Structure 1
Amino acid sequence: MARDDEDFERRPDPDALLALSDKESKGKLCVFLGAAPGVGKTYAMLARAQAAKAEGVDVVVGVAETHGRAETQALLNGLETLPRRKCDYRGRIIEEFDIDAALARKPQLILVDELAHTNAPDSRHPKRWQDVEELLDVGIDIWTTLNVQHLESLADVVSRVTGVAVRETVPDRVLQNAADVILVDITPEELLQRLKDGKVYVPETARRATQNFFTPRNLTALRELALRRTADRVDDQMVDFLRQGAIEGPWATAERLLVCVGRDANSEAVVRAGARLATALNATWIALYVERAGQEEESAEVVRSVDQALRLAERLGAEIARTPGDDLAGEALRFARRENITQIVLGRSRARPFSRLLRRSLTDEILRRSTDIAVHVVVQEDSPPQSRQARKLPTLSQTWLGFGGAAVSVLMTVLVGYGLERWLGLVNPSVIFLLPVVLCTVWLGMWSAIIAAVLSFFACDFFFFSPRYELTISQPQEFLTLVVALVVAVITGMLASKMRTYAQNMRQRSQAVQSLFEFSRKLSTIATPDDILWASTLQIQKAGEASSVIMLIPEEGGLKVSAAWPPVDRMDAGELAAARWALEKAEPAGWRTDTLPNVRFQFRPLATARGVVAVCGIEPKTPEEPLSAATESTISSLIEQTAIAIDRSMLVGESVKAAALEENEKLRTILLSALSHDLRTPLTSITGAVTSLRELGEKLPLEDRKDLLLSIEEEAGRLSRFIANMLDMSRIESGALAPRSDLVDVAEVIRSVLERAKRTFSGKDTSISIAPDLPPIRGDANLLGQVLFNLIDNAHKYGGPAGAIVHARREGGDVVITVTDEGPGVKAADLERIFEKFYRSGRVDGRKAGTGLGLSICRGLVSAMGGTIVAQSPAARRRGTRLIMRFPAARESKRGVAA
């Protein structure tokens, strides 16, 4: 079994194998890394490319910046070079790398110089390293060059060292994912000599460079950064090889320290000693805390000690890790080998002499089992002896309950023993006294089990061993039996108690996982940000038994309480300052942190890929004690899920806005298209008629002049109606339309519109039918006339030669006005859409007519007067369209006057 566990531990890391598989499916990236410009990166890359071409590799130069250096330019001879893409940038033509040409050519290897280059604005990707990633994804190998100051994590360091701001950066992951990193290095003196010789810049530029960037101090610092980053990259590559091949470390190529954080007060001293050692060795280090699986809930003192030690390690630059395990030493060593740790730092265990007889201390066990990793033991001679962690003693009520339960269970066992002895002739009933011990362990805990074991010892002797009813043992074997039974009972009780504790912990963890799952499912169904905030606040308060508050950033800036439970009246200045710190610095602030620790809340950032979107504040129920590890883990998970839900809600809102903007853009395009046509057509007709009248004048017959003047009049009227429609739509959408509420004689309005239509639509027939008992309506006569005119115009456009039919009648308490044509009609699916802006369903003379505003304006005007308008098709004989307007009739007073 142990062998199987060992084989399992030595299996290849699945994550490492997946990463290797992913890399093998892509092209390989080789980076020629230099400390500064002029060290010869491009030269080294081209020289290797010539060698690769001589070996038969399909090599293509995508872009190579020679900067006019003759020796570098000479290396391009014989290499295929892709033509560059020319683009206009601020009035001048520049040449950029053509990624499409590279994808079309798809060579085995392509050279792309200056990885940190920023592309022209019209390029597919803003940065050249993004072009490189796209080429790698299709399986093309790439060689490129990079200066160390362009790495994103080192840009601020280089700026502080050299005083020169670095504006073009490359993410560190690009270098980490590279298959090979080749360091191109020369001494600062040699580089300065190259500058003097004019091999880097022209003389004037070289002189200014040596006075600013290219100084011995700056070049030495950059060279050190390049050497260290290359060594780190090689070390990471070696760790990947170890994990892929299931090879246990450590390989002492670079120092990596592991600091073991314990449960005592000396852990901070161990952490500081580990930080000093890591600084002296210039090594990376990890602070590890191993949680014993199945142990009882840790006390507040232990949680506080561990929390403080880990936070101190994080401030000192360590990585933080927590891992569960029964075998503390074995788990720590497995972690060390997995992370390629070369040295372990831990404190000296101060175990009591009796404990040392039973088992080795953690320090002794690691020293014994660590055969390939150096171990540093930190000893504080002047520190007081470590106080043993006080066990949680039972209360008085728990003591009496445990004692009573043990006594009752032992008494019941005695009665059972008498029954078994009488009916079955049981000779030695000591075995059955294990039963009360186990029962007390399961139901009442460890203390009750110990009491039950002792009472069972005496009860078995008193009631069943001769001489009976005396606490006397006559035979040695009887004494041995009782002692063995007592030991077995105690051991059984301890194991059962441990299993009970383990089961309770597992049940609590299961409940926490179930709670997180339910919360995650609830968040997936919530769409509005307010609901997300309130659900999260309530869940965090329930999980941590603490007051919780979530603060969002409103559009006007600052922080505002968006949800809180229990309700929070106000936040004082210190709390607001801590919340702003958490927002701006993306790190916790407030209670039990290093920033404003006296504030009652602990504020934590809700961070997403786009940054910190909100701040969550937690006020513990007992400020004197830290949150337990389980509560801390649950709250952290809830905060992460809340951040994701808020981010998702913001993305949904942004997608809605984007959709609205896209729709507005479409409407704008349609409007511009309609404007360009519907303005140009009448203007063209008017211009042509005016030109003919001006040039020919009296030469034209009188009838032709009349026709031209009539055409001018008609087209001008058409243009006027079009502009009026646009103004009406603008008034309707802005809410500026305020119709009058006068008594309107519908019959009179219809007749006046008919006269106007006859003059405007000459040659088009319009008939009317008005009921004799038609009552007046409340509204605006001018707007009603405009609506009727637009409907008649629409009927003439789409109704064919038959013209339009206007009918007005009374139906109950409403006045109904219909305008009918005998055209091809409207599809049932489009009966409502024809009232939308810019929608045009019919065609006139083979093209779509109008702007699609007429019916939309009609609905807006009718609604403003308190009426409704709908479309019906077919209207009669399976043809035509009928537009139906319905207005409430004006009420009549007792004197017969409409009210």
Structure 2
Amino acid sequence: MQRKEKEKHRRRVHISRRNVLDLCITTAIVAVTTGASALLVKWTDSSANVTALYMLAALLVARTTEGYGWGILASVMGVFAVNYAFTDPFYKLNFTAAGYPVIFISLLLISIITSATTGSVKQQARRSRASEQRIRRLYEFSQQLANAHDTDSMIDLTLRYLHELLGCPVLYFQNENSLVNNQERVCGEISGFVSDSIERGAVEACFREKKAAGAGTLLAPYAMFHYIPLMSGETMLGCYGLLWKDNPIDEETMEHVRAILAQTGISLERQMLAEERNRAALAADREMIRSNLLRSISHDLRTPLTGIIGASAAIEESGDRIGAVETKKLAADIHEDAEWLLRMVENLLSVTRVSQVTNLKKSEEAAEEVIAEAVARCKKRYPDAQISVHLPEEMLFVPMDVTLIVQVLINLIENAIRYAGTPVEVSLRRQNGNAQFTVRDFGPGIPKEQRDTLFETTQVHADSRRGGLGIGLTLCRSIIAAHEGEISEINHLDGGAQFVFTLPMEENT
């Protein structure tokens, strides 16, 4: 409110200064015209052209001052000057001589009409410039709306724009529940008004009737705020409030405000539809993950469980006859199959984590430490594995869900160890604003017939008695996609498969 009072005081001071300036301009032009007329009469010994000079003076005043009044004042001053100084009897006001009333009234009307026409043209030009400026600002606002990434940023952008345009507090209600819960968004200094029953009634009327309510309307006219519905077609998306009580907004500005809100409504509806499509696509992805998971479970869990059952039954039924060496080998097979099942459970937990969230809770992590953790866990399971790590000189910080990215690296490294043997190379580098992770082995590579569906279905590996890459690669693709990254595989010309995935180093908002 203090800001608004200061703005009103500043406007009053500006108007007062402008009036003084216009008065000085009018007086100066009339005085100069009078002097020029006196010289002209002295030089030509005729006052025939004096009237034209004063008409020109009225035009100049109308052109250089604000409004109609100063041009009309100059016209009246000119008529009196002509009658007083340049018409017989000189230096006396006399409008009663034969023919004088008609002549001077005609001159006065011509001067007034000319001055008013000039002022009208100037005001039209001013309105045209203001209209052009509003159109340009509306275009710039539309560009900013197009660059907004979500509905919240669009709503806040409109709040700030209206606050800067009108110089008054502006607020937004998404629905009537946000009114009840005091969850309105505010731009500008304001507090406590929501508890006012009049304001509550105005907001409720705006939502109920889907039209403007509050100050300046017939719906709750005693409210302090003027509430405007944010519409998109027949759908009401929210309600904006403008503090109007002490400073009503002119109709031209209100037309601009309505255009802004109409543009906001269209953009909001488009963004909501896009978000709905994204949610539908995400639900489809989650369903695909579940389908792949069920297929993989039936394929990947059956073999190790059968091995465990067979080996344990052999030990139980024939342990005394098969000898200690064979018993130890069967126990090792049971242990290996149990570790396989443990990894499968870890992947299942990761799948559940990815499929149940819309947005991952990411934090900036040092990529080098993530690689170190994954390598350490793989070395614990495969102590004889040769795993080399190549890191850049700079420290790379990447927004990620660290648990899931560690699981991706573990899956890729363990696949390389199981199906290609060692050595395995893990490397990291920066590329085009992304962190690029690479896991390479030196085995036979991925068979050509498996590459097209490598990340989509269960793949059978010819040398693996457990028979499959499992859900690991499908999970890897889902995790990387949830991080807005990419994953791919290539076979090296000199042998071996290489899996590469990238993560954005700056989180998209």
Q: Normalising by structure 2, what TM-score?
A: 0.61
Deviation (angstroms), 1:434: 0.7
Matched, 1:666 2:288: yes
In the alignment, which residue of structure 1 is the partner of 2:30? 410
Q: How many residues align?
A: 409
**Cα deviations across residues 92-118 of structure 1 (Å, max 9, x unaligned)?**
xxxxxxxxxxxxxxxxxxxxxxxxxxx
Matched residues in 2 for 1:451 and 1:629: separation? 29
Q: Secondary structure at the match of 2:153?
A: helix
Q: Which residue of 1 aligns with 2:230?
A: 606
Structure 1's unaligned 5+ residue stretches are 1-394, 736-743, 755-765, 771-783, 809-817, 861-869, 885-899
Provide the C-alpha distance between the structure 2 equivalents of 1:495 and 1:819, rounded to a whole number of angstroms: 84
| Contact 1:533/1:562 (<8 A) preserved | no
The sequence identity of aligned pairs, in percent, is 18
Distance of 1:485 and 1:789 partners within structure 2: 98
Shift of 1:674: 1.6
Write the letter of the residue equivalent to 1:449: G
Cα deviations across residues 703-748 of structure 1 (Å, max 9, x unaligned)?
A: 9xx99x999989976764443123223556759xxxxxxxx9x99x
Q: Label 1:403 to 1:671 Cα distance change in 2 as closer, same or farther (>3 A).
A: closer
Aligned to 1:566: 188
Matching residue's letter, 2:195? D
Letter in 2 for 1:822: G
In structure 2, do the counterparts of structure 1 residues 496 and 586 end up closer, same or farther at CA, with 3 Å as the change threshold?
Answer: same
- Cα offset for 1:549? 0.4
Pairing of 1:548-627 with structure 2 (within 5 A) = 548-553=170-175, 560-570=182-192, 571-572=194-195, 574=197, 575-609=199-233, 611-622=235-246, 627=249
Residues 596-605 or 676-685, more deviating: 676-685
Per-residue deviation, 1:541: 2.9
What letter corresponds to residue 519 of structure 1 in structure 2? Answer: F
Q: How far has the Cα of 1:572 moved from its partner?
A: 0.7
Which segments of 5 or more consecutive residues in structure 2 lack a partner in the other structure? 1-14, 355-372, 389-405, 427-438, 480-486, 501-509
Alpha-carbon separation, structure 2, partners of 1:454 and 1:613: 57
Query: What's the counterpart of residue 181 of structure 1?
Result: none
Give 1 or 2: higher helix fraction: 2
Q: Deviation string for 1:100-140 (max 9, x for gaps)? A: xxxxxxxxxxxxxxxxxxxxxxxxxxxxxxxxxxxxxxxxx
Taking a change above 3 Å as real, the CA distance of residues 600 and 843 of structure 1, as seen in their structure-2 partners, is same
SS of the equivalent of 2:289 reads helix
- Once the 2 structures are TM-superposed, how far is the Cα of residue 439 of structure 1 from its aligned partner? 1.9
Offset, 1:463: 4.1
CA distance in 2, matches of 1:441, 1:462: 23
User: Equivalent of 2:76, from 454, 474, 478?
Assistant: 454
Q: Which amino acid aligns with 1:407?
A: T
Letter in 2 for 1:591: A
> Whole-Å Cα distance in 2 between the matches of residues 562 and 630 of structure 1?
27
What is the aligned partner in structure 2 of residue 437 from structure 1? 58
Q: Which amino acid is the alignment partner of residue 604 of structure 1?
A: I
The answer to whether the Cα contact below 8 Å between 2:417 and 2:424 also exists between their aligned partners in 1 is no
Q: What is the aligned partner in structure 2 of residue 639 from structure 1?
A: 261
Equivalent residue in structure 1 for 2:496, among 869, 880, 885: 880
How far is the alpha carbon of 1:768 from its aligned partner? Answer: 6.6
Instruction: Please state how far the C-alpha of 1:483 moved relative to its aligned partner.
Output: 4.3
Deviations 1:808-834 (A, max 9, x none): 9xxxxxxxxx9954323699xx9xx99
User: Are 1:428 and 2:48 an aligned pair?
Assistant: yes
Where do 1:740-759 residues align within 5 Å? 753=382
Q: Is the 8 A contact 2:292 2:457 kept in 1?
A: no
Amino acid at match of 2:242: I
In the alignment, the residues of structure 1 paired with residue 60 and residue 237 of structure 2 have an alpha-carbon distance, to the nearest angstrom, of 53
Give the equivalent residue in structure 2 for 1:725. 343
Q: Which amino acid aligns with 1:725?
A: R
- What's the counterpart of residue 107 of structure 2? 485
Alignment match, 2:135:
513
Q: Looking at CA atoms only, which structure, 1 or 2, has the larger radius of gyration?
A: 1
Find the residue that maps to 1:671 and give its secondary structure. helix
Q: Which amino acid letter does the alignment assign opposite residue 450 of structure 1?
A: I
Name 2:117's counterpart in structure 1.
495
Equivalent residue, structure 2, for 1:628:
250
Task: Name the TM-score, length of structure 1 as normaliser.
Answer: 0.37
Closer, same or farther in 2 for the Cα pair 1:660/1:715, shift >3 Å? Answer: farther
1:653 corresponds, among 272, 275, 292, to 275
Listed as ranges, the matches of 1:11-50 within 5 Å are none
1:853 CA drift (Å): 1.5
Taking the aligned partners of 2:101 and 2:142, their CA distance within structure 1 comes to 61
Deviation at 1:420, TM superposition (A): 4.7
**AA paired with 1:524?**
A
* Matched-pair contact (CA < 8 Å) for 1:583–1:615: yes
Residues 485 and 522 of structure 1: is their aligned pair in 2 closer, same or farther, counting only changes over 3 Å? same
TM-aligned CA deviation for residue 604 of structure 1: 3.0
Change (3 A) 1:606 1:715: farther
**Residues 520/462 of structure 1: CA separation in 2 closer, same or farther (3 Å cut):** same
Report if the CA contact (8 A) 1:839-1:853 is conserved.
no
C-alpha displacement at 1:407, in angstroms?
3.2
Cα distance in 2 for partners of 1:666, 1:789 equals 20
CA gap 1:509/1:599 in 2 versus in 1, 3 angstroms: same
Answer whether contact 2:212 2:229 (CA < 8 A) is retained: yes
TM-superposition CA deviations, 1:211-234 (whole Å, max 9, x none): xxxxxxxxxxxxxxxxxxxxxxxx
- Counterpart contact for 1:545–1:620, Cα < 8 Å: no
* Whole-angstrom distance in 2 between the partners of 1:594 and 1:475: 59
Structure 2 equivalent of residue 850 of structure 1: 469
The offset of 1:871, in angstroms, is 11
Deviations 1:167-211 (A, max 9, x none): xxxxxxxxxxxxxxxxxxxxxxxxxxxxxxxxxxxxxxxxxxxxx
Q: Sort the Cα spacing of 1:509 and 1:559 in 2 relative to 1 into closer, same or farther, 3 A.
A: farther
- C-alpha distance 651-824 of structure 1, shift in aligned 2 (>3 A): same
Q: Alpha-carbon deviations, 1:687-718, whole Å to 9, x = none?
A: 9x89xx9xxx99xxx99xx99x9999899767
Query: Matched residue of 1:622: which SS?
Result: coil
Contact 2:203 2:227 in 1 (8 A): yes
Asked if the contact 2:230/2:238 (under 8 Å) is kept, the reply is yes
The residue correspondences of 1:287-436 to structure 2 (distance < 5 A) are 404-420=24-40, 428-429=48-49, 430-436=51-57
1:769-808 correspondence runs (5 A): 791=413, 794-797=416-419, 799=420, 803-805=421-423
Answer yes or no: is the 8 Å Cα contact 1:753–1:788 preserved in 2: no
Query: What's the counterpart of residue 301 of structure 1?
Result: none
Partners of 2:277 and 2:442 in 1: CA distance: 42
Using the alignment, how far apart are the partners of 1:466 and 1:415 within structure 2?
A: 18
Separation of aligned partners in 1, 2:115 and 2:219: 47
Which string of whole-angstrom CA distances, capped at 9 and with x for unpartnered residues, describes residues 770-826 of structure 1? 9xxxxxxxxxxxxx9xx99995664443x3xxx544899xxxxxxxxx995432369
Contact 1:606 1:616 in 2 (8 A): yes
CA RMSD in angstroms, aligned pairs only: 5.4
Distance 1:717 1:423, change over 3 A: farther
Alpha-carbon offset, residue 433 of structure 1: 1.4
8 Å CA contact retained: 1:402, 1:448: yes
In structure 2, how many angstroms separate the alpha carbons of the residues matched to 1:650 and 1:660? 15
Please tell me the residue identity of whatever aligns with 1:844.
Answer: H
**Residues 179 and 200 of structure 2 are in contact (CA less than 8 Å); yes or no, is this contact kept in structure 1?**
no
In structure 1, distance between residues paired with 2:48 and 2:447: 101
Query: 2: distance between equivalents of 1:641 and 1:492?
Result: 42
